[in-house]
Structure 1
Amino acid sequence: MCGITGIISPPGKATVPERLGALSAAIRHRGPDGHGYHAWSPDSGGRFGDEPEIARGHRIALAHRRLAIIDLSADGRQPMTTADGRVTIILNGEIYNYLEIKKELEALGRRFDSTSDTEVLLQAYAQWGSGCLARLTGMWAFAILDNSTGELFLARDPFGIKPLYYMIVDGAFVFASEVHALLTYPGAPRRINAAALHDYLRFGFTDRFDATMVAGILALPAAHFVTIAADRPAEVRPQRYWQIDLGAAPRRMSRDDAAAELRDMVRRNVELHLRSDVPVAIALSGGMDSAAIAMLEKEQRREQETCTFSFIAESPEINEEAWIDLLIEQSAVNGRKIKVDPQALSGELDNLIRAADEPISTTSIFAQSKIFTAARAAGFKVILSGQGADEIFAGYLPYLSSRLRGLLGKGQLADAIRFIRACRRENKVSPSYLITHLLGQLATGSIERAMRRIAGQPTMPPWLNKAWFDRHGVVPRGVSRNRRDAPLKSHLANTLFDYTLPAILRHTDRTSMAHSLECRVPFLTTELAEFAYSLPDDYLIDVEGRTKSILRQAMRGIVPSEILDRRDKIGFDTPQRQWMAANMDSWDAILKSDAFRAIPAFDHRTVAQDWRAMMADPGRVDARLWRWLNLARWSDINAIEYS
């Protein structure tokens, strides 16, 4: 895990070393173990150096900040160049199956000078070009420079676990691992992206495809690569290299066979994610996903102590301590528990926002930050997390409506009635909840807006300044619609790639890397995703309303039955309302600040009324308040411009 950045100046111009140095310094926390630079120009080719001054007079410059995880020696330092000098790489991330790829490359006659996964990726690209991406299991954002032509190849992993952002400034292509690094560059855009702002304030997420909260700063989308020509750096045309086929017919295999195959896959992927030359910890909740990782880690590393870190909430309705204690006892791990002082939230808000790069979705990031702080203080550089399993194997309650839609669409009325009853009995989900969410899926954006007008409901909440959003051409939209022929699978894909998971992954990357800690997610591999999406819907959510049904069966005998049979797990949650209520005076100061009042996206009179109601009754505090506060502080910290 590391940080990467670089500049391609337009023809006739050269890189300013001070600008490259500022970009590199802004991501130092991502790689405190070392740094390096590579510069290129048409007449002199590529050069390596320890300081940004090497970029002076050169058209292209790359910078790398290293967090040493695999091959801790100097052989693993970056930028790294092939022995023939042809291509140079800077990598942020890990290639978990690098040993297998290395054997394949050695059989083709390639030789290696290190034991790092970076060199394997470099040689793989030299051998297969962009075709190497299909062979990789891992998380990555990397740039490879062809020193013979000045052509730059950039790619991001299939799920967007690792970040990569870019912008065009005065004809130069500038990229970095984090948005705030790009903001150090002279002339960087700072104008708000009105559409992304609307999505954040309404729904709490901004990570749709290539959008960021700053207009003019874009994310290279997950599962995409782009090639930038040295003489045309402003021409950026990303290409997709992988996607899930939602229209494929479900594979024909028994449930028992599917569970057995899945068990082997999960075991193999956990084993791959444990490859490291430094100790590995586990973020443990009381749920099945992190429990599976902990149990399999213990199974595969019996001679080593397994160390887990768990957040313990004070609120009894979301307290997972009893389940965590059960896992600690049955797995004999060294379990460490983290409790949070809610009154510290206001004092740490600015640091959380600086680390997060963009406004934060929920207060769970505060608890996650404390877990990562404790893990790093205990000497760990790597921690495993169960993120992604819910989006791949259908673990969230809203998926139930999509499953019901699939049953009704196939005319399976008896099963649909049985499903509705089971959801009410086992999941405490009412029929009205299922029907309401099902109808919401059926309505297109235009139909939804028309229905709101007929019902006398505003298309935009009154606390937003509709005139301002109209002036910026923002049309209120809901989340992505699900396909009729594959309602459950398309719902999963939407949360996996369009909303929910992208924001979770962004927050996790920034929060962990703020502590120079690498967070790995063993469930997020193309192998597991393609397998899950190839199964019948009933294997994911059965007619008894059991979410992640096939994963529960696959983990039987590995994870304690008490955990597998839980129906009340709600994800990594925090008592947001109580935490917010504990800091009302601090929030009042922010909402009365000039920075907040200067944001034209709000109807400030309505916001003031709603805030007074929350002050009078903290029980009325809701998610809007957290977003208001985050936007105000993020805008102020980054000097964001509104018009």
Structure 2
Amino acid sequence: MCGICGIVSNSIDVQVLKMVRELKHRGPDNQNIVNLGNVWFGHTRLKIIDLSDNANQPMFNESGDICIVYNGEFYNFMDYRNELIEKGHTFKSNTDTEVILHLFEEDGIECIKKIRGMFAFAIWNKKKEELFLVRDRVGIKPLYYYYDGKLFIFASELKAILKHPNVSKEIDFDALSVYFSLGYIPQSMSIFKKIKKLLPGHYLQFKNNNISIERYWSLPNINQKILLKDENDLVDQLYVMINEAVKLRLISDVPLGIFLSGGIDSSIVATLAAKNSNAPIKTFSIGFEDTKYNELPYARMVAKHIGSDHHEFIVRINETEVIGKLAYYYDEPFADSSAIPTYYVSKMAREHVTVAFSGDGGDELFGGYNWYEWMLSHQKLKMVPSTLKKAIAGVAAIPKKSYKGKHFLTSLKYDEFETFRERTGIFSPSEIKKLLNCELDVTLDFYEDYFKTSGETLLERLTRTDFAFYLPDDILVKVDRASMAVALEARVPILDHKVCEFAFSLCDSLKINGKTKKYLLKKLARKILPDDFPIERKQGFSIPLSEWMKGSLGDLLINALRSFKNKSFLNEVYVEKLLQDHKLGKSNNASKLWSVLMFSLWFNNYY
């Protein structure tokens, strides 16, 4: 894995040196820059395949008129290497990077359709004076860019772009509003007004001072469903596809291991990796002293079953000093608290391996999130008149104390999208107006429009929306930044694009069947996991956030607010009331308070 960056400018611009230094954590093994006239490329390398210096980047073709900087893995590159040699191309390395370079010579930008893997790269064609930026189909690898009409800059992380003195750090307040709504900043937005993300499955062409962006991949059309056939045949087909995806990702010239959370997704990945490995694999798990959040017994069960070299780490509340590091590595406000265990499991794994597999993607692809089942239950009441549902919601809200089912009943007043937003979001629009001492547009029109048009059924709308928003902009951001902070490459077999296409061609009943979420994936799990493994439970790398916020995290929040550099920005009285109510048990405001904490730490870090 690596870090990439570059500048296109009509004047001499050596700021790329500073950008490369800012990305060194992504690639500590080699850092290099190259000047291509009015273009500068920079690269930081983490050695994974071909450990020789011949594999260092930026890399040129034989004639020197095409140059690439590349971050990622092209797992099926050997399928094309010999073919390219037969066509007369010469190779100086054994890397996948050089295969992309020569495929680009043969096929142009269409070569990206041959790549099976995760990637973000830039290619400069000197003859045509054009630059291409490309991001993988799902958004596993990040890629940002800035353009002010004269200066074009790109990089793997925001912090590198901000090293250029001409780049403004002006906050995008629309993005800030979305952050406090969702807990992350989605789609092409970033927290900085002038910096954008390249969307997954897209490429950008920069030529003659103009930007054009094209989509090259998308999920199957909602009408492209697999015709219903024997479930066992589909389980077998799923097994073949995930097994192939895992096997492809075992290619490495450095040690690799598995993040083992104790859930079925990572357990399936670990089991298949062990099956395809010639030596015992290494597995890594995170636990907590609070047994409600501790999944180590289930991880141990799988580790014993596959005979792995198993490693564990207990996250304790006194080790939350890592939070300050997260504010630096994530570059913009990021409110997913599971970044803490993800960082620790990455740090532990890096002491033993350079590559680690994660089980991410199973929930979005196969219908695993709790809010899916919750909203499907809501939908069963759609025949109840809206006036009656609102009345029920009003009555349910009268008791001040929490009780089982209160949240479900009080949310009956919402329509479908409002229910989804309320169930998965953090602050409501009215709460954001109380939180921030500034006028903001707190609508999520783009999010609502996508949700309402993304599928014919509710489950289609839920899974496709999460695949387009929550997965690339929360889950995959979390894994990339936490792993790259310690120079660890994270691979995600379940998000192989062929597995994605298969999953989104399944009918709803193969994802949620009755009360069973991830129905088809669990049928596969029962075939390959230990007989006594409890399939119907899942925790993942979550933390006891509510309890911690009543103690040291609450104190950290108060300190962050008192040192906040823009006192007129946040309504401190409102935040302190949220914290007080949380500590007294009047309401669970942990997610709200965590989002404010991470914003405060980020703001104090950048301003």
Scaled by the length of structure 2, what TM-score is found?
0.89
Mapping for residues 83-482 of structure 1, pairs under 5 Å: 83-169=62-148, 171-206=150-185, 208-229=186-207, 231-232=208-209, 235-252=210-227, 253-301=229-277, 303-345=278-320, 347-378=321-352, 380-400=353-373, 440=414, 442-443=416-417, 459-461=429-431, 464=434, 468-470=438-440, 473-475=441-443, 480-482=450-452
Distance 1:550 1:104, change over 3 A: farther
SS in 2 for 1:97: coil
Q: Does 2:570 correspond to 1:606?
A: no
The answer to whether the aligner puts 1:575 opposite 2:553 as a matched pair is no
TM-aligned CA distance change 1:127 to 1:27, over 3 Å: same
> Aligned partners of 2:407, 2:239: CA distance in 1, in Å?
33
After superposition, the Cα gap between the structure-2 partners of 1:114 and 1:255, relative to the gap in structure 1 and judged at 3 Å, is same
Alignment-mate amino acid for residue 574 of structure 1: I
How has the CA–CA distance of structure 1 residues 435 and 146 changed in structure 2, closer, same or farther, with 3 Å as cutoff? farther
The verdict on how the C-alpha distance between 1:38 and 1:466 changes in structure 2, with shifts beyond 3 A counting, is closer
Query: Alpha-carbon deviation of 1:286?
Result: 0.9
Q: CA deviation at 1:266?
A: 0.6
Partner SS state of residue 362, structure 1: coil
How far is 1:404 from its partner?
6.1
Match of 1:50 in 2: none
Question: Does residue 490 of structure 2 align to residue 519 of structure 1?
Answer: yes
Which deviates further from its counterpart, 362-371 or 505-514? 362-371
The residue type paired with residue 390 of structure 1 is: D
Contact 1:482–1:491, Cα closer than 8 Å, also in 2:
no
- Higher mean Cα deviation, 475-484 or 158-167? 475-484
RMSD across aligned positions (CA): 2.8
Question: Structure 1 stretch 387-396 or stretch 458-467: which is displaced more?
Answer: 458-467
Distance 1:638 1:489 in 2: 39
Shift of 1:276: 0.5
Contact 1:251 1:535 in 2 (8 A): yes
Per-residue CA distance 1:78-97 (angstroms, 9 max, x = gap): 11111122311100111111
- Aligned amino acid, residue 580 of structure 1: M
Tell me the distance in 1 between the aligned counterparts of 2:284 and 2:27: 23
Please give the alpha-carbon distance, in whole angstroms, between the structure 2 residues aligned to 1:502 and 1:337. 28
Judging changes above 3 Å, is the alpha-carbon distance between structure 1 residues 250 and 615 closer, same or farther for their aligned structure 2 residues?
Answer: closer
Please state how far the C-alpha of 1:534 moved relative to its aligned partner.
Answer: 1.0
- Tell me how far 1:622 sits from its aligned partner: 1.5
* Percent of residue pairs bearing the same amino acid type: 29
More displaced stretch, 170-179 vs 476-485: 476-485
State the match for 2:397 in structure 1.
none
Question: In structure 1, which of residues 19, 39, 44 is the aligned counterpart of residue 35 of structure 2?
Answer: 39
For residues 481 and 170 of structure 1, do their structure 2 counterparts lie closer, same or farther at Cα, with a shift above 3 Å needed?
closer
517, 520, 523: which one aligns with 1:550: 520
- Per-residue CA deviation, residues 283-302 of structure 1 (Å, 9 max, x unaligned), is 1011111111111111111x
Alpha-carbon distance in structure 1 between the residues aligned to 2:601 and 2:549: 15
Decide whether the 8 Å contact of 2:368 with 2:518 is kept in 1.
yes
Q: Which amino acid aligns with 1:20?
A: V
Give the corresponding residue for 1:16: 13
Q: Are residues 277 and 287 of structure 1, via their aligned partners in 2, closer, same or farther at CA, if it must alter by over 3 Å?
A: same
Seen in structure 2, the aligned counterparts of structure 1 residues 448 and 158 have a Cα distance that, compared at 3 Å, is closer
Give the equivalent residue in structure 2 for 1:6. Answer: 6
**Distance across 2 between alignment mates of 1:465 and 1:581:** 20
Compute the displacement of 1:637 (Å).
Answer: 0.8
Residue 574 of structure 2 corresponds to residue 638 of structure 1: no
Q: Counterpart of 2:373 in 1: which secondary structure? A: helix
Which of residues 566, 570, 580 in structure 1 aligns to 2:535?
Answer: 566
> For 1:588 and 1:618, how far apart are their aligned partners in 2?
19
For structure 2, list consecutive stretches of 5 or more residues without a partner in the other structure: 384-403
Instruction: Indicate how the Cα distance of structure 1 residues 536 and 586 shifts in structure 2: closer, same or farther if over 3 A, else same.
Output: closer
Q: Gaps (5+ residues) in structure 1?
A: 42-58, 411-429, 450-456
Which digits, 9 at most, give the CA deviation of each residue in 1:402-422, with x for residues without a partner? 656899999xxxxxxxxxxxx
Q: What displacement does 1:566 show?
A: 2.5
Once the two structures are TM-superposed, the CA of residue 612 in structure 1 deviates from its matched residue by 4.0
Contact 2:146/2:196 (<8 A) preserved = yes
Looking at structure 2, the residues matched to 438 and 251 of structure 1 have their Cα atoms a distance apart, in angstroms, of 34
Match for residue 394 of structure 2? none
Pair 1:437–1:69, CA change in 2 (3 A): farther
Query: How many Å separate the matches in 1 of 2:3 and 2:154?
Result: 11
Q: In 2 relative to 1, CA 588–458 (structure 1 residues): closer, same or farther, beyond 3 Å?
A: closer
Structure 2 distance, partners of 1:512, 1:535, is 32
Structure 2 CA distance for aligned equivalents of residues 80 and 500 of structure 1 = 31
Letter in 2 for 1:240: R
